[in-house]
Amino acid sequence: METDLNRYTRAMIAGHIDTCAEIEKRHDLYGYPPELVTVGLEAIAKGKEPHEAINQYCNGGSNA
Q: What is the pLDDT of residue 45?
A: 96
pLDDT in tens, 6-55: 999 999 999 999 999 999 999 999 999 999 999 999 999 999 999 999 99
Buried b (16+ CB within 10 A) or exposed e, 30-61: eebeeebbbbbbbbbeeeeebbebbebbeeee
* Residues in Cβ contact with 54 at an 8 Å cutoff, skipping those fewer than 6 apart: 32, 36, 39, 40, 43
